[in-house]
Amino acid sequence: MVRYQQGDPAAVTALVSTLSPQLHRFFTSQFVSRRFADDLLQETWLKIHEVRHTYRAGEPVLPWIYAIARHTRVDHYRRTRRLEDREQQVEHLPERAAAAAPESRGVDLEAALRQLPESQRDVIVMLKVADMSLEEVARATSSTVGSVKQKAHRAYEKLRGLL
């Protein structure tokens, strides 16, 4: 990230190629369609580029980036809600072909994660998918380590009940 701040194009490429899959999974784990996840990923990288000067050298990069991603997702949600509130309802929806569901084997973890509250789902995705530490997740979510532990514990309990 420090090399990125200094204008090294190789650092930008390495950062984007390394973290984009993790960020994309972060967005798709949140009731977000693949199309919106792609948009959110691009928007997140644009915001990171705009505020790259605010990163402090020596600090962990992942919490800083995930905080920006979280805020981007929240902004997107708010923007979408405002648009939906202004839309008019139609009486009849056009017919569309039912998509064939792929054959499922085992437990659908993504469906179980969708049933968690957003804050708990964020913590689980960051801890288990992005492999972040408790301290990094606490920084990314602007909360304490104790709060992260509590959210994770409650999420694990709910997942155990669901699975």
CA atoms within 13 A on the CB side of 150: 5
Q: pLDDT at position 100, please?
A: 47
Question: Token pair of 112, please?
Answer: 């179980």
Residue 86 has pLDDT above 90, yes or no: no
Q: Which residue has the tokens 């190789």?
A: 10
Share the mean pLDDT of the chain.
Answer: 85
Domains of the chain plus CATH, in order, are: 2-85+110-162 (1.10.10.10)
pLDDT in tens, 92-148: 666 665 444 455 555 677 888 888 898 899 999 899 888 889 999 999 889 999 999
Of 73, 72, 55, the C-alpha closest to 64 is: 55
H-run or E-run covering 158: helix 145-162
